[in-house]
Structure 1
Amino acid sequence: MFLKSLDIFGFKSFADRTHIDFSSGITALLGPNGCGKSNVVDAMKWVLAESKSKNLRADKMEDVIFAGTANRPALNVAEVALTISNENSLLPLEDTEIEIKRRLYRSGEAQYFINGRQVGPSEIRKLFMDTGVGKAAYSVMEQGKIDQILSSKPEDRRYLFEEAAGISRSKAECADAERELEKTKQNLQQIEISLAEIKRSYDTLKIQSEKTTKFRKIKEEIFNIQLDIQLLKLKNFIETKSRNETSIVEVEEKRNKVRKEIEDIQNSLTENTDFVKDLQEQVYACQNELTKIMGEKNGKLELQKQQSTRLAEIKDKINQLEIKKTNIQNRIDNLNEEVGDAQSNLHEKKKYLEDTKKNIESFQQNIEAAGSQITENDERAAEKRKQIEDLESQRVQLQKELTAITEDIVTKLDAKLRDAGYSEGAMNQAKAKLEEIVGRLRIFTEGRKNVFGDASKTGCRSAEEGTKLLNEATAAFEETHNMILSLEESLKSYIDASPAFISEFLAPEGIITKKREIDSKISDNIKLVNDLNQMIKDLNASNVTLSMKINEYKDTLSKLKQNEVAIAEQLKSNEEKITMLQRSISQEEVNLRTNDDEVYAEQRRYEDTEEQIANIQEELAEIEQRGAQIGDKQRELYSKIDECNNKVSGKQNDLQKKQEQQDKIQREFERLSISIGSLDTEIRNVKQNFSEQYSRDLMEYEEHMYTITTPPEKLKEELAKAKANLESLGHNINLMAPEEFTEVKDRYERQEANYKDTLKSLEDLEQVALEIKAKSSDMFLDTYNKIKKNFHNMFRRLFNGGHAELRLEDPANILTTGIDILAQPPGKKLENIALLSGGEKTMTAIALLFATYQVRPSPFCLLDEIDAALDDKNVSSFVTALTSFANISQYIVITHNKKTVMGAGTMLGVTMEESGISKIIALRLDDDIEKIRAEVINENDDFVEEDVEPEQGVVLPQRPEPRKKAEQTQGDEQSVTEQNTDENNTSSDTNAENNEAQNEQTEGNDK
C-alpha cells in the first residue's frame, strides 16, 4: 500500500484547492511557524474519520472549515481526499487504487466516500483496522503521541501493540459481541419475565380448558344420547300412527257396512222408523260429540303432560343459566382482581419512572455543574497563562537589560584592565611567588614546632643543651622574620599586579550589584511563572477529575435512561394488559347481560307454561262436565229407542245385534282417532321441545333415526351416567377457556421459541467472544514478545548501548494488562521512562516505534516534529534509523532540523504568500544535497542498517533513486530554496520557543 496524493479544499488554512503528490521514501515538510504544516497532518487524520475536534486543534468540528481572512470570505464546505495505491491488496478491497474522501458542510452535514461510494465513518475505520493506519494507529506520530506512548498509565500504551498485533478489528468485533451480549441478556431477562407471566396464564387456562373440553364432550355425549332417545320416541310415534291410520281405515269400512245394514233393518220398520231414526241420529250426534270430547280431553291431558315436562326443562335450563351466571361473575371478579394488581403495579412503575426521571435530571444538573466548573477552571487557567505571558514579556525585557548590563560589565572591565596595565602573567607570577613563600613558612614553622615540642617533653640534660636550644630558637625566629618580610614584599607585588577597580564593581552601588538585582528579578519572575504553571496544572488536574466524574455521571445517566426506556416499555405492557383485561371484563359483562336476558326469558316462559297448565286444567274440568251431560243425554236417547224397539218384535233383535256391533266398531274407531290425534300431538311436542331446547330442527337427523340400534333402556342408562359425570365437574366452568387457552398457548409457544432462540444466541455470542479473546490473546502475546526483543536491540543501537525492557503489568489478563517501559541509557540505572529527559524519552519512543515497524510496518507514517527535543547526535541516529526503514514504509516528516531535512528524498514547502492562505511547493533533492544527506547519515557509524530487518512475510517496497532535476509544482525553485534556507537558518534560533509552544499545546491537548 502506498500513499499517492492528498487533495485539500476549504480545510483550515487551505482555502484553494490544493493537490499534493507523495513520493516513496522520506518526504520533508518544511515551513515557518504558523504557515499550516500541521494542517496537512490534521487533514490526513480528519479524512481517516477522526471524530474528536480537540485532536484536530479545534473547539468544534465546524472550526476545520476555512473561516476566511481579511481579503477572503469564509467557505461553507471542507473537503479532503486521500488517494492510496492498493496493489498488494493490503486493504480488503478489489480496487488497486482507493480514494478516501470526507466532506463537511457548515450546517453540520458530513459525508464520507470510498471510491465515490458514500459510506459511514465506521466503515472507513474498519477498512484500515490492523494495517497500522488510522486515527488511533501509529501511522501519525506527534509530540502529543510521544507523550501518549510514554504515558504514566501503562494501559494507554496498549493501542500500539494491539494495532501491531492486528487485533484492533478483533477487539472491535469483541466489543460489538459484548454489547450485543449485554443487549441479548437484557432481552432474555425481559423474555423470562414475560414467559413467566404467560406461563401462569397458560397453566391456569390449560386446566380450565381441559375441564371445559371434558364438559363440552360430556354435553355433546348427552346431546347425542338425548337425540337418539328423542329420535327413537319420534320413530315409535310415527310407526304407531302409521299402524293406527291403517287400522282406522279398516274400522271405518266396517262401520259403514254395519250402518248400511242397520239402515236396511230400520227401513223395514214402519211406524217407529222415523222416530227411532231421529233418536238414532241424536245418539250418533251424542256419540260423535263424546268422541270429540274424549279426543279433546286426551289432547288436553297430553298437552298438560307436555307442558309439565317443558316446565321441568325450563327450570333445569334456568338452573344452568344461574350456574353460568355464577361462573361469569367469578371470571369478572378474577379479572377485576388482575386489573387491580396490574393497576397497582402500574402505579409503582410510574412512581419508579418519576424517581428515575428525577435522578436523570439530578445527574444532568451535576454534569452541567461539573461542566461549568471545568469552564471556570479553563477561564482561570487562561488568566494564569495570560499572566505567564505578561511575566515572560517582563522576563524578556529583564533578559535584555541583563544582556545590556553584562555587555557593559565586559566593556568596562576591558577598559579598566587596559588603563591599569593589567597583566595576567605578572599577576600569576606574583601569586605563585606568594604561594611559595607561604608554603615555605608553613613547612618551616611546623618543623620548628616539632623540634621544640620534643625538647619540651624530654627536657635539657645539661646547660650546654639548653644554650644550644636557645640559639636554635633565636635563629628560627630570625628566619621566620626574614620569611615574613619576603611575604610582605610578595603580597605587595600581588596587590600591585591585581586590578584595583574590582571593588568598584563589587560595591553596593556597583554594576555587579545591579546585575544581581536583575538576576534576582528574573529568578522571582521564573518562580512566579512556575507557581502559575503549578496552579494551571492543579486546575487541569481538577478538570481531569471533573471530567472523570462527568464520564461517571454520563455512564450512570446512560444506565438510568436505559432503565427509563425499559420501565416505559413495562408501563406500556402493563397498560396493554390492563386494556386487554378491561376488554375481557367488558366481554364477560356482555355475556353476563346476555345470560341475564336468557334467564329472564326462561322465567317468562316458565310463568307462561304454568299459566297454560292452569288453563288446561280448567278446560279439562269443563270438558268432563260437558262429557257427563252428553252421556246422560245419550242414555236417555237409548232408553227412548229401547221403548220404540220393544214395540217392534221381529227385526228388533237383529237391529240390536247390529247396533251392538256398530257400537263396538264405533268405540274402536274413536279409540284409533284419539290415538292418532294424541300421536300427532306427541310428534309435534317432541319436535317442538327439541327445537326449543337445542335450537335445531329434529328432522335434520331423520336419516340417523333409522340407523339407531341401541335400545332405549340402554340409552337412558348412558344418559344417567353422562349426567352424573357432568355433575362431577362442578359448576365453575369457564366456557371460553379452550379458545383463550389456544390464544395463550400460541403466545406461550412463540415466546418459548423466542426464549430458546435468544438463549442459543447468547451462548453463541459468549462462544464467539471467548474465541475472539483467545485468538487475540495469542496474537497480542506473540507480537508483544517480538516487539520486546526488537525494542531492546533498537534501543541499544540508538543510544549506543544501554538496556531497555517491556513488562506486562498483569500477565494473567493479556487483553487488559498495561505495559511498563523501563529504560537504562548508558551510564544510568534501569528506571521508569517517566524519569528520563525529554530527548531520552523521544529516542525511547522512536526505538519502540521502529521496533513495532519490524513486526508490522505501517504503509505510510507522518512524523510531526518528533525530533524537536533531540540534540545533533541523537538527530543523526534518528535520521540513520529513519533512512534504514525508508524501504519499508513511506515517511512524511515535519521538521525544522537541517540534518533531518538532509535525510529526505523530497521536500514539500508550505508557505503563506497570501496572509492566512497555505500553499504547497514540492522539490526533488539533487545529487549534491543527496551527498550531504549521506554524509549526515554516516556520522553515526554504530548503526548497522542490516540489523533492521522486518519480520518474515513483510513485503518491502524498493526505494527509488533520487532524481537529479528539481520538480516544481507551484512557484519558483530559486525563491523556494532561498525561503527554505532562511527558514532553516532561523529554526535553531526558535527551537526553544517551539519547545515551549509545543509543551503548551501538549498541555492543551491533555486538558
Structure 2
Amino acid sequence: MYLKSLTLKGFKSFASATTMKFEPGICAVVGPNGSGKSNVVDALAWVMGEQGAKQLRGGKMEDVIFAGAGSRKPLGRAEVTLTINNDDGALPIEYSEVSITRRMFRDGASEYEINGSKARLMDIQELLSDSGIGREMHVIVGQGKITEILESRPEDRRAYIEEAAGVLKHKRRKEKAQRKLTGMQANLDRLTDLTDELKRQLKPLARQADAARRAQTVQSEVRELRGLIAGYELMRLWAANEASESAKAAASVELAAANAGVSEAEDDHRLAEESLAKQQPEATAANQVWFELSALKEKVDATVRIATDRASRSEAEPYQGPDPQETLHQAEDAQAQVEALEDASDVAAERLETILDQVEDAREAAHAADEEHMRRVRAIADRREGIVRLVTGEEQARAEVTRAEARVAEASSNCAESREAARAADAEATRASEDVSAHENARGPLEETRVRAVAESGAAESRLKQLRDEERAAEQKVASLTSRIETLESTRAAGETEADLPPLADLLTVTPGMEKAVAAALGRFSDAVVGEPGAHTGEDWSRTVVVDETVGAPWHVETEVLPAGAQWLTDHVQAPQAVRRVLADTVLVRDTGEAFAVVVADPRLRAVTPEGLVVGEGWAEVGEGTRSSLEVSGLIDAASSALAAARASLEEMSGTVSGAEETAEQARVEAAQATAAMREFQAEHAALVREAEAAVKRAADRKRMHEANVDKLTAAEKALEKAKTEAADAADRLARVEDTETEEEVSTEERDRAAERLSHMQAMEMEAKMAARQAADEVERATQRAEGLRRKAAADAEAQKRYREQQEKRLRVIEKAQLVRDNAVRVATRVADALDRAHDERERTRAVVAEADATVKKLAVAVHDARQRRSRAQEAYHEAEMAAAQAAVRLEEAERRATGETGVAATELRKQFEQPEDFSITEYRKRLKSAEKALAALGKVNPLALEEYAALEERYSFLSTQLDDVIRAREDLHSVIEEVDEKILTLFTDAWHDVEGEFPEVFATLFPGGEGRLKLTDPDDMLTTGIEVEARPPGKKVKRLSLLSGGEKTLTALAMLVAIFKARPSPFYVMDEVEAALDDVNLRRLIALFEKLRATSQLIVITHQKPTMDVANVLYGVTMHGDGVTRVISQRLHPAGE
C-alpha cells in the first residue's frame, strides 16, 4: 500500500487543479520559502480527516479555501482527492485502488467521498485506522510536531503509540459506552426517585381504597333494593300499559279492516278504470294497426313492382375504354425511343466538341490573315483613304458577329452546365431527405434500448437496496442470536455447582419441543450431577443432587396398557442408564385431562404435559419457575443452530449483494451508454436535417441560376441576329464602293478564305449546338412522353378496375333486386293475412271496452259504502288511542324516575327483575331506608380511590421492572467497558514493548555512543500511564530533554517517531522540513534511517537539503509567481549510489 496521487483544487495556494503522482520510495518536495510546500502536507492531513484548523496553520476551517491573490478571485470551495494503491489489501475494502475525497464550501458545508460514493468522516477515519492512521496523525510529522512531542505531557505521548497500535477505534467504542452509561445513570436516578415516590403514595391511597370498597358494598345493596322496587312498579305499569295497548290494537285491527275494505273497493275500482283505460288504447291501437297494415300492404305491393322492374332491365355492358396493356406497350416503345435519342444526343455533343476545336483553329487563322491584310492596306492607305471607314466598319461588324457567336456559345454551354447542376442539386436534396427519413427509422430501436436500459438500471438499484436491507437485517439477527447465546451461557454458568462432576443436563439429548416436559419431570434432578454418591459424601459442596452412575438398566412400572395418546417420557430422551431410571415412572400425555386420567388409572405413575404440568397421586406441580439447566441447554442449542443458519444466510447474502452491486453498476453503465448513444443519434440526425435543408437551398439556387442562364442565352441569340444583319449591310455597302474602284487593290483572297472558313466553322458550330440542343430537347420530350404514357397506362388500368367494380356492383344490385322481389312477395302474403287478423281484433276490442265501462260504474257504488264503514271504525280507534297515551305517560314518568334512582335503563330493569317468593313492597322500602342511612354514615368517600390505587400499583410494578432492566443494562455496559479495556491493554502493552525495544537501537544510530530509553510513568496502570523520554548524547551526562540542543532535541523526537514507525509500520510517512536544524553529520545519519524506512514504507519529505534530494526517487519542484498561485513540476530520479 502506498500513496499513488494527490489532486488539489482550490486548496490554499493551489487555485488551479494540480495532481501530484507519487511513487514508492522517497518523494522529495522542494522549493523556496512561501511557495506552498507545506500546503501539500496540510492537504494530506485535511483529506485524511484532520478537524483542527490550528493543525492546518489557520484560524478557522474556511481558511483552506483559496482566498484570492492578484487578479485571481477567491474560490467558493476547496477539494482534495487522495488516491491510495491497495494491491496488498492493507485497507479493509475490496478495491485495489482507493480514492478519498474531501470537499468544503465557503458556507462551511463539507462532503466526503470514498471511490466517488458519498461517505461520512467516521467512515474515512475507521477505514484508515486499521493501517495505523488516526486523529493524532503521527505519520505526518509537520514543522511543529517535533517541538510538540518533546514539550507534551507524558500522558499525551502515549497517544502516538496508541494510534500506531490501532487502539483509537477501541477507545472510541469505550467512550461511547461511557457516554451511554452516564446517560443511563440519569435514567436510573430518575427511576429510583419515581419508585420511592410511588411507594410513599401507595399507603394513604390504600386506606382510601378500603373505604371506597366498603362504600361500594353498601351502594350495591342500595342499588339492588332500588332496582327491585323500581322493577316492581314498572312491571305493574307495564301491565296496565299493555292492556291499553291491546285495546288500541283491537281498534286498530277493526280500523285496518275498514281501511282494507276501502282500499280493496278502491283498488277494484281503480283496476276496472285501469282496465278500461288499458282497453281503450288497445282498441285504438287495433284500429291504428288495421290502418297501418293497409298502408303497408300498398307499400309492399309497390316494392314488388319496383324490384321486378329492376331485376328485368339491369344488364351488363362491355368495357369501351382504352386497353391499358396497349398503352403500356406504347410507353415501352417510347422508352426505347428515349434511349435511342439519348445515344444521338451523345453523338451530337461529341460532334459539337470537335467543331468547337475546329472553330478555335479557324479563328486563329483568320486573325493572322487579317493582320497580313492590314499591313498591305496601310501601304496603299493614301489611295484607299475613301473606303477605309467602310472596310473598318465591315470588319467591326464581322468581329461583333464573332463575339456575339462566342457569347451565344458560352451562354449555351453555361445553360447546359447549370441545367446539369440543377438536376444534380435536386437529386442531392432528394437523397438528403431520404437519408433523414432512413436515419429517423433508427430512432425507435435506440429509444427502446435507452428506456429498457434506464428501467433495468432502476430495477437493479431497487434490487440492490432491497438486498442491502436484507443483509443489514441478517447482520442484526446474527448479533441478536450471539447476544442471546452469551446471555444464556452466563445464566447456565451462574447455576453451575462447584462439584467437579459432569452436569446431568450435558448428558441428555431431548427431542426438540420436549425440553419443558423433561425439565419439569426431572424437577430437582435438572441441576443434578452424575457420579458415585458414596465417593463424594464428605465434599464441602453446597446442596447438590448426585445421580448414581453405577445403577443397572432402566425399568418401567408394569402396567397393562397405556391410554391412547400417552407415551413413556424416556422414549423422547437419549441419556445414560442412570439418568433414564429417574424418568422410568413418567408418562408423556397431551393435556391436563389425560394427565389426571393416567394417574387415577395407575397411582404409581407420574404424568407430564409438553407445557411442563406434572401430575402425581394427590398432587400437581403447576405454574412457571426459573429455567433449569436442561431448558437453558436446549435454548442454547436451538439458538446456536439458528445462529449457524443466520451466519450462512449472511454469507450467502453478502455474495448476493456483491453480485447485485456489479449488476447495478453494469446496468448504470449500460443506461449511460444508451443515453449517450441516443444523444449521439440526435446530434447526427440534427446534422442530417441541416444538411438536407442546405441541399434543398442549393437546389433552389441552382434552379434560379439555370433560369438566369436561359435568359442570358436568349439575349445572346438576339444580339447575334442583330450583329449578323449589321455585318451583311456593311459588306453590301463595301461591295458597291469596290465595284467603282479602278485602282489596283490589295488582294484579300487569303484573308477572305480564312474568314470564310471561320464563318463556315462558326455556322457549323451553331448548327452543332442547335443539333445538340434539339437532341436534348427531343430526349426530354420523349422522356416526358414515355412518362405520360406510363401514367396514362396506370390511369387506364385504374379506370378499367373501377369499371369492373361497377359491373360487379351492378350484378350485385340485380341479385339484390331479385332477392328483394322474392322477399317482398312473401311479405305481401303475410301482410294480407295480418290485415285480416287486424280487422277481427278491431271488432273484438270494441266489445271489450263497452263491457269494462259498465264494470267501472258498478264498482263506484261499492267504494262509497266502504268509506262510510271506515269513518265509524276511526272514531272507535281514536278513543282507544287516547286511553293508551295516558297509560304510556304514566309508564314513561315511572321509567324516568326509576332510571334516575338506579342509573339503569328501564328495559334493563325489566329484564333483570325477578320477584322473590316472599316479596313485600312495604318491607323492601323499609330495607332501602335503612341502607341509605348506613351509606350516609360512611361520610365522604373518594370514588376514584380504587382505580387510582390500581393504576398507581400497576405503574409502581412497571417502574420497578424498568428499574431492574436499567440496572442489568448498566451491568452489561460495565462488561463492555471491561472487555474494551482488556483489548486496549493488550494492544498498547504489545506496542509499548516493541517501541521500547526499538528506541535504543534507533537512538544509537542517530547518536553513536549515546544512550536513550523510554519509560512508563505508572507501569502499574497501563491504561493511563504516560511515557517519559530519557536521552543522553555521547560525551554528556545530562538526560533531561530541556538541556539538549535544538538539533539533539530534533533527533531525539525523530528517534521516538522512527521507533514507533519500526515497531508498528505504516504504509507511508510525511516529513515536513524535519532536518532543518541538523548539521551535515546528523543529516547523513537521519538520511540513513530514511533509506531503511524506504524498504517498507513510502516517505514524502519536504526539504531544502541537497543530500535529502540525492536519495529521492521522485523530485517535485514547487514555485509561486506574483499571482500567488502554487505550481508544481516533477522529475523522476535515480537516487545517488544506485
TM-score (norm 2): 0.40
Give the TM-score normalised by structure 1: 0.45
